Amino acid sequence: MNTLSDAEWAVMEILWEHESCTLGKISEILAVSKGWRQNTVYTYLTRMEAKGLVSIDKSCTPHRYSYAVSREICAKAERSSLLQKVYKGAAGDLIAAFLKESKISEKERKELRKMLDDMDV
């Protein structure tokens, strides 16, 4: 799976949160957060359906839109892309960079150590 554009993420966030929405509801939310008009939202939804990201239930009026790909699958694709693009697949370098740039609590540190100990690394 390819990574999502920022616009696709915005649409998917709504669908993941609401599970099923009408074009009107999605447009209403994105008008506030992005300033998008309904035609723009409709264009994204139809393109995303063609990519297999969105499902459209045309058996009801108005049509209902829902996600066809889970947040977990999309997040995995994003992580994999970042890892390959920026760190050439070196997961340790990615983790080290995150840990150097942000503080973690003692509890998080212990959980991270446990995860690493439990993994075959």
In a domain, 98, yes or no: no
Residue 59 φ then ψ, to 5°? -80, -10
Q: CATH code at 83?
A: 1.10.10.10
In a domain, 105, yes or no: no
In a domain, 102, yes or no: no
For residue range 58-104, list pLDDT tens digits in order: 999 999 999 999 999 999 999 999 999 999 989 888 888 888 888 88
In a domain, 63, yes or no: yes
In a domain, 95, yes or no: no
Domain that holds residue 60: 1-89
Question: How many domains is the chain built from?
Answer: 1
In a domain, 107, yes or no: no
User: Which residue blocks in the chain are alpha helix, DSSP H?
Assistant: 6-18, 23-33, 38-50, 71-87, 91-101, 106-118
Q: In the chain, pLDDT over 70 holds for what percent of residues?
A: 99
> How many of the other CB atoms lie within 10 Å of CB of 84?
11
